[in-house]
């Protein structure tokens, strides 16, 4: 690959090499997200329609992982009114779900924390401007007991691929493969290491 075949973009501390014509971007660390170079620009309605066409397939795929903490996650409170592109999740369209324990996720103020047992789940889909639509990975955060994981501020990070295989789990196999998740979330340490939905996509009571 020559120097003219890719460019570099940065999200915080992460750098991505965009490969011309491939539709993909490879991170400078081997375990970071593979990003979509050419995500489609969808209206909220279009994004919802794509998600509705995939959501059952996505749920079945993630269920293969047999993780009780994400069982029936699509019945949890949803904090966005339509899937939205997340640059920190590889330029994929994501949804932000949280279980009932994470009752204060939407209103978390500086210095506040989510209670132990809170689980945040982002499922994702790839939609390119060439019309390709595919399920993406699920990104999971679980709030652990105090001092259970000091290196990650007592957060557990898990990435589940669309076929249900677990790419990495900071409290299990291939912990190093998802260690970069906490590095990214340190940007929002004052909000208990949790990002929130962009203003224009937030659900309204």
pLDDT, tens only, 148-185? 999 999 999 999 999 999 999 999 999 999 999 999 99
**How many structural domains compose the chain?**
1
How confident is the model at residue 23, as a pLDDT? 41
Residue 126 within a domain: yes
Range of the domain at 84: 39-201
Residue 95 within a domain: yes
Residue 137 within a domain: yes
Q: Is pTM beyond 0.75 here?
A: yes
Q: pLDDT-derived band of residue 34, with 50, 70 and 90 as boundaries? A: confident
d(CA 157, CA 143): 9
pLDDT digits (tens, 9 = 90+) for 113-149: 999 999 999 999 999 999 999 999 999 999 999 999 9
Residue 17 has pLDDT above 80, yes or no: no
Residue 1 within a domain: no
How confident is the model at residue 184, as a pLDDT? 94
Q: For residue 111, give the CATH number of its domain.
A: 3.50.70
* R_g of the chain, CA atoms, integer Å: 17
Q: pLDDT-derived band of residue 204, with 50, 70 and 90 as boundaries? A: confident
Residue 97 within a domain: yes
With pLDDT > 90 as the criterion, what percentage of the chain qualifies? 80
How confident is the model at residue 5, as a pLDDT? 28
Residue 7 within a domain: no
Q: What's the whole-number mean pLDDT along residues 50-56? A: 98
Q: What's the whole-number mean pLDDT along residues 12-23? A: 36
Residue 88 near residue 27 (C-beta atoms within 8 A): no
Residue 191 within a domain: yes
Residue 100 within a domain: yes
Q: Based on the number of CB atoms within 10 Å of its own CB, is 35 exposed (0-12), middle (13-18) or buried (19 or more)?
A: buried
């Amino acid at each position: 690959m020559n120097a003219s075949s890719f460019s570099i973009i940065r999200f915080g501390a992460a750098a991505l090499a965009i490969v011309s014509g491939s539709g993909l971007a490879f991170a400078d660390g081997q375990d970071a997200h593979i990003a979509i170079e050419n995500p489609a620009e969808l209206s909220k309605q279009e994004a919802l329609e794509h998600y509705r066409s995939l959501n059952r397939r996505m749920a079945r795929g993630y269920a293969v992982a047999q993780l009780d903490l994400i069982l029936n996650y699509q019945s949890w409170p949803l904090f966005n009114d339509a899937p939205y592109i997340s640059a920190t999740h590889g330029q994929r369209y994501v949804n932000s779900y949280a279980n009932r324990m994470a009752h204060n996720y939407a209103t978390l103020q500086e210095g506040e924390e989510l209670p132990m047992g809170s689980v945040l789940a982002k499922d994702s889909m790839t939609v390119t401007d060439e019309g390709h639509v595919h399920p993406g990975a699920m990104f999971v955060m679980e709030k652990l007991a105090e001092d259970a994981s000091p290196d990650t501020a007592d957060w557990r990070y898990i990435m589940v691929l669309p076929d249900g295989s677990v790419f990495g789990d900071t409290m299990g196999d291939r912990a190093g493969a998802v260690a970069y998740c906490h590095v990214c979330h340190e940007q929002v340490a004052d909000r208990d290491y949790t990002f929130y939905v962009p203003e224009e996509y937030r659900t309204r009571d």
